[in-house]
Amino acid sequence: MKQQEVLFQYLLRLGDTNLILGHRLSELCGHGPVLEEDIALTNIALDLIGQSRILLSYAAKAEGQGRTEDDLAYLRDVGQFRNLLLAEVPNGDFAVTICRLFLYSAYTCELLTLLCDSKDEYLAGYAAKALKEATYHLRHSTNWMVRLGDGTAESHHRLQTALNRLWMYIPELFDGDAIDVQLQETGIAPDPNVLKEKWNTRVNAVLAEATLNRPPDQWMGKGGRDGIHTEHLGFILAELQYLQRAYPGNQW
Amino acid sequence: MVDPEMHNETSALEVLAAVHDPEIPVLNIVEMGILRNVRMDGDRLIVTITPTYSGCPAMETIEADIKTCLRKAGWSNFDVETVIAPPWTTDWITDEACRKLLEYGIAPPERGSLDKSGLTASPKTVRCPQCKSENTRLLSQFGSTACKALYKCNQCLEPFDYFKCI
């Protein structure tokens, strides 16, 4: 693949994951367990969607076909989305919501730290900005992990169950393919193995503090980055894209 | 036609100082550090702005307000461009702006660049903008807008916004 095409695909993976997780979290607007948490989760959703706009705008530019961030967000179908499956898992109970946010924020904090040294100047600039936001997301979700994991028998049980359930989507985060290899060789993206090592160190420390057991690595759910999704993504897009599908080209 | 006597970087800056952050109306975009650069490219004025947070919903309003203010001041040949690097930091908020924030009832950001408490979770002292007590507590890292945290004063019992460091 040509370098621009590879970059386009990589940016879609980053941008789509943030868009879908941002949308998932925005579902909790008005439904958070307490007002402060409602505001926190939707603030994080806003950050993720804002980051996604930067990434998808840049992706559209890299593609060079005259598409815009809106075309990419609103006019692609399920098979053209490149997000990690972890992002599309339903919110479930608060344990699932917060555990997913923690696992993902730990990943983005490490990824963005490495991307700050990317040879792609724009991507490096983006990483420096987004890292400041992701640091707050990680801190918030880490606090909850420890509080719930090391909390009551019920909160511990729920969080361990959530962790076990989400674990099958973790290997996809570090499952390097030809796109990662090509971008790694050109100094644009980091080595997924380095990323995995850093993620493991950080996550293991929090799991220990939260008295949670790290689940064994078993069957891996993957395919999102190649456009093969769970049944949940279609429902997200039905809501996310409804207006542009019903009234094409309509403007706010 | 552009009259260089009337239309230059200095006069543009004066116009832009009248554009306020819609979510923190007490500050203008210069004091907030949102306005990064103003320069003439031949006859064309280039205004460069940067978002505080990636998802800051005020950016579109700010851009529209910049255009309106410039047009009102007789500018017709200009562009507003948005950059994301270097990343916006609370250190760019001027001292004068911090004073205005405090008067407005928002605790200004602690000086010293990136909030290390964001990484280490170490508690820090934030003074209540109402009664000035240091006996306050964090209610939530996420407040009424992306850039603020929610605190409560243990002394006067008033909740208040704190402009968090990034």
**pLDDT, position A64:** 95
User: Can you tell me the distance from the alpha carbon of B45 to that of B55, in angstroms, rounded to the nearest whole number?
Assistant: 26
Q: For domain B9-88, say whether CATH 3.10.20.600 is its number.
A: no
The domain spans of chain A are 3-246
**pLDDT, position A175:** 94
The model's pTM is 0.92
Q: Contact at 8 Å (CB) between B65 and B15? A: no
**pLDDT, position B7:** 81
3-class DSSP assignment, residue B62: helix
Question: CB B55 to CB A126 under 8 A?
Answer: no
- Quick one: tokens of B12? 């543009």
Which position has the token pair 């004073």? B99
The domain spans of chain B are 9-88, 91-163
User: Can you tell me the distance from the alpha carbon of A180 to that of A178, in angstroms, rounded to the nearest whole number?
Assistant: 6
Tens-binned pLDDT, residue by residue, of chain B (166 aa): 556 667 888 999 999 999 998 888 899 999 999 999 999 999 999 999 999 999 988 899 999 999 999 999 999 999 999 999 999 999 999 899 999 999 999 999 876 545 444 444 455 789 999 999 999 999 888 888 888 899 999 999 999 999 988 8
User: Can you tell me the distance from the alpha carbon of A204 to that of A213, in angstroms, rounded to the nearest whole number?
Assistant: 9
**pLDDT, position A61:** 97
User: Can you tell me the distance from the alpha carbon of A13 to that of A58, in angstroms, rounded to the nearest whole number?
Assistant: 12
> What are A's interface residues with B at a Cβ cutoff of 8 A?
36-37, 39-40, 43-44, 46-51, 53-54, 121-122, 124-126, 128-130, 132-133, 135-136, 139-140, 142-143
User: Can you tell me the distance from the alpha carbon of A96 to that of A89, in angstroms, rounded to the nearest whole number?
Assistant: 9
Which is it for strands B136-140 and B148-153: parallel, antiparallel or unpaired?
Answer: antiparallel
Backbone angles phi and psi of B26, in degrees to 5: -75, -15
Q: Distances in Å between the alpha carbon of B43 and those of A216, B1, B3, B40, B114?
A: 65, 9, 9, 6, 39
Question: CB A140 to CB B85 under 8 A?
Answer: no
Question: CB B142 to CB A133 under 8 A?
Answer: no
The CATH class, in words, for A3-246 is mainly alpha
Task: Using CB atoms, pick whichever of A40, A126, A139 lies closest to residue B118.
Answer: A139
Smallest CA–CA distance, residue B51 to chain A, in Å, is: 10
3-class DSSP assignment, residue A93: coil
Residues of B in contact with A125 (CB under 8 A): 84-87
B33–A contact, CB cutoff 8 A = no
Question: CB A136 to CB B141 under 8 A?
Answer: yes
Q: In residues, how long is chain A?
A: 252
Which is it for strands B24-28 and B20-21: parallel, antiparallel or unpaired?
Answer: antiparallel
Task: Using CB atoms, pick whichever of A121, A133, A139 lies closest to residue B54.
Answer: A133
- Quick one: tokens of B37? 């650069």
Divide the 252 residues of chain A into consecutive groups of 10 and give the mean pLDDT of each group: 93 98 96 91 96 98 96 97 97 97 98 98 97 95 97 98 97 95 96 97 98 91 94 97 93 78
B140–A contact, CB cutoff 8 A = yes
Chosen from A109, A132, A145 to mutate, greatest number of chain B CBs within 10 A: A132
ipTM of predicted complex: 0.86
Smallest CA–CA distance, residue B65 to chain A, in Å, is: 18
Which position has the token pair 């049944």? A231
Task: Using CB atoms, pick whichever of B54, B57, B143 lies closest to residue A129.
Answer: B54
For B142, nearest residue in chain A (alpha carbons): A40
Residues of A in contact with B165 (CB under 8 A): none
For chain A, the straight-line distance linking the first and the last C-alpha, in angstroms and rounded, comes to 37
Interface size A-B, in CB pairs within 8 Å, comes to 78
**pLDDT, position B115:** 47
**pLDDT, position A219:** 82
CB atoms within 10 A of CB A221: 16
